[in-house]
Amino acid sequence: MFILEAPYVSDFLKQTIADRKAPVLANEMAIRHFGPDAPFLCTDDDFVARSGQGLPVYSNSENAIDWINTHLGTTGLPDTIGVFKDKIRFRELIRDMHPGYVFKGVDFAELEHLDPSAFPKPFIIKPAVGFFSLGVHKVDSDEDWPRVLEAITNEVSRIRSQYPDQVVCLDRFIVEECIQGEEFAVDVYFDHKGEPVILNILGHLFASADDVSDRVYLTSPTIIRTWLDRFTAYLGEMGSRAHLSHFPAHVELRVDKEGHIIPIEVNPMRFAGWCVADLTFHAWGFNPYTYYLDGNKPDWESILAEHEGQAVGVLVADVAADVDCASITRIDYTSLAARFSNPLELRRIDVHEYPVFAFLFARVPENDLREFRELLHSDLKEFLTIART
């Protein structure tokens, strides 16, 4: 069953639902995309009754959490979601898996009194309930703290106007040790036995050591082969602590230079946000949504053999922080797509609603990531026409 919510529903997800005639909650978003008379739309009561029969639930967005908390309390989902959405509760859950890891919860109102010298450098500060790198900052020194505090304060009102508290809550922050190493994002579901089934692993590329953006993610046979078994074992331990079953998640991890796996966060009830989970189909040819709903497991050995030497990634074309989105009068999507020799899909996003103007999926040689790396270091202003003030 599906719950559709803002900010984005892809054509691929819509087609998946239509082909299966899968039950969908008849909320505003579903009616907008399918019309009020679609036969697979469910009333609140019908959806609750079906979920009580043990049917797996998937939402494309954590904006659905408020409805789940209100209507699906008897399923246990609200408490499980809460463990992962609250990064402080999550750290407590896995504390003994990572002895010595430093973290602390701080109320937003108390940030101005925070003593940065009390934490090892560098450290990360971010909303305890967050999404999409919103409000995430790295502090490299005590002297850096006033600048970061000012940036957080300026961001609060903007973020609150774009996302509900269930997705990004800015009343409480977590200060935690900065995890050094490679970063990965894993789309996984936990089956009826609680065993993790990994559907994709994305490497997160950064422009520099100080970069905390979500600009580029990509997957390849080498990434899957290198990390599949290790991440599966780690997620199995994590999932057993939270008693997970019939549960999809998007998990962000880092691996330090000693090979230790440390989770950054777990995003519940969905795979990669903004339907970036569709990248799994672009890269590997199977549908991640139906695999979860049907309890299927990828035959990675045969899948990877068919895609040797290839990598598939997504460019998140965000708007530079010094650009007022309201001042953008034109976006050159044609030139953006032309920067890739094998673009697969270009999604146009309303830049006046969100500070992102496109998601671009592309295939590149696994041993040559230049097309992604060049734009990783760009402010992307070359694709924007900005009105003069």
Are 315 and 220 a contacting pair, CB within 8 Å?
no
3-class SS at 50? helix
Q: Which CATH superfamily is domain 96-177 in?
A: ATP-grasp fold, A domain (3.30.1490.20)
3-class SS at 171? strand
Q: Which amino acid is at 225?
A: R
Are 248 and 58 a contacting pair, CB within 8 Å?
yes
The crossing angle, in degrees rounded to 10, of helices 77-85 and 221-242 is: 120
Cα 149 to chain centroid distance, Å, stands at: 25
Are 313 and 371 a contacting pair, CB within 8 Å?
no
Q: Say which residues have a Cβ less than 8 Å from residue 366's Cβ, sequence separation at least 6.
A: 220, 221, 222, 309, 310, 311
The confidence score (pLDDT) of residue 134 equals 67
Q: Say which residues have a Cβ less than 8 Å from residue 162's Cβ, sequence separation at least 6.
A: 353, 354
3-class SS at 79? helix
Are 80 and 268 a contacting pair, CB within 8 Å?
yes
Are 282 and 345 a contacting pair, CB within 8 Å?
yes
In the chain, where are the structural domains located? 2-83, 96-177, 182-386
The confidence score (pLDDT) of residue 171 equals 78
User: Which strands make up the sheet holding 58-59, listed edge to edge?
Assistant: 41-42, 24-25, 2-3, 58-59
How far is Cα 173 from Cα 207, in angstroms, rounded to an integer?
25
Domains 96-177 and 182-386 share a fold: no
How far is Cα 349 from Cα 355, in angstroms, rounded to an integer?
9
Return the structure tokens found at 57: 């639930």
Are 215 and 316 a contacting pair, CB within 8 Å?
yes
Cα 57 to chain centroid distance, Å, stands at: 18
Q: What share of the chain is helix, strand, coil (3-state, %, to 5)?
A: 40, 25, 35
Are 128 and 105 a contacting pair, CB within 8 Å?
yes
- Can you name the CATH fold of 182-386? D-amino Acid Aminotransferase; Chain A, domain 1 (3.30.470)
Are 223 and 147 a contacting pair, CB within 8 Å?
no
How far is Cα 205 from Cα 177, in angstroms, rounded to an integer?
20
Cα 165 to chain centroid distance, Å, stands at: 16
From the list 198, 248, 250, 205, the residue with the least C-alpha distance to 227 is: 198
Return the structure tokens found at 388: 């003069």
Residue entry with tokens 């600048």: 147
Rg (CA), the chain: 21
From the list 137, 164, 167, the residue with the least C-alpha distance to 150 is: 137
In terms of C-beta density within 10 A (0-12 exposed, 13-18 middle, 19 or more buried), how is residue 346 classed? middle
Per-residue pLDDT tens listing for the chain (389 residues): 999 999 999 999 999 999 999 999 999 999 999 999 999 999 999 999 998 888 899 999 999 999 999 999 988 899 999 999 888 899 899 999 998 888 888 888 888 889 999 988 899 998 877 655 567 888 999 999 999 988 888 777 666 656 655 555 577 888 988 878 999 999 999 999 999 999 999 999 988 767 768 899 999 999 999 999 999 999 999 999 999 999 999 999 999 989 999 998 899 999 999 999 999 999 999 999 999 999 999 999 999 999 999 999 999 999 998 999 999 999 999 999 999 999 999 999 999 999 999 999 999 999 999 999 999 999 999 999 999 86
User: Which strands make up the sheet holding 182-190, listed edge to edge?
Assistant: 261-268, 247-255, 182-190, 196-205, 216-219, 310-318, 356-365, 343-348
How far is Cα 164 from Cα 11, in angstroms, rounded to an integer?
24
3-class SS at 188? strand
Backbone angles phi, psi at 237, to 5 degrees: -65, -45
Helices marked H in 247-362 — which ranges? Answer: 279-284, 288-294, 300-305, 333-338
How far is Cα 232 from Cα 72, in angstroms, rounded to an integer?
28
The confidence score (pLDDT) of residue 180 equals 83
Residue entry with tokens 């030139």: 335
